[in-house]
Amino acid sequence: MVLDAQIEWLRSEAAVGGYELAEQRAGVRDATYAEVAALIGASPDEIALVDVEVAGSSGKRGANGAELELEFRIVDAGVG
């Protein structure tokens, strides 16, 4: 399922370009943030979805390298 989705994404990206595909699929991205936020009682702008490699290597830093404050919470989905 995940592999099929990744292959489909790569084929679509090759056909129309990465930025164009991201723009076309913005609604799916936005819905993902809204659904995750609803699960934990947050707003979509309080959600950061990052790759496990980014999260694992960043320690107490966010995905953009910003120092995390006490009010930040990290929720690990434990997938994989």
Token pair listed for 66 = 């910003």
Work out how many domains the chain is built from and give that number: 2
Residue 57 CB neighbours (<10 A): 9
Distance set, CA 25 to CA 5, 28, 52 (Å): 13, 5, 22
Say whether both 36 and 70 belong to one domain: no
What is the model's pLDDT at position 48?
A: 82
Say whether both 59 and 75 belong to one domain: yes
The model's pTM: 0.59
Phi, psi of 67 (to 5 degrees): -65, 130
Contact at 8 Å (CB) between 12 and 22? no
Q: Supply the range of the domain harboring residue 34.
A: 2-45
Share of the chain above pLDDT 90, in %: 48
| Per-residue model confidence as pLDDT tens digits over 49-68 | 776 555 555 454 555 555 55
**In sequence order, what are the beta bridge partners of 67?**
61
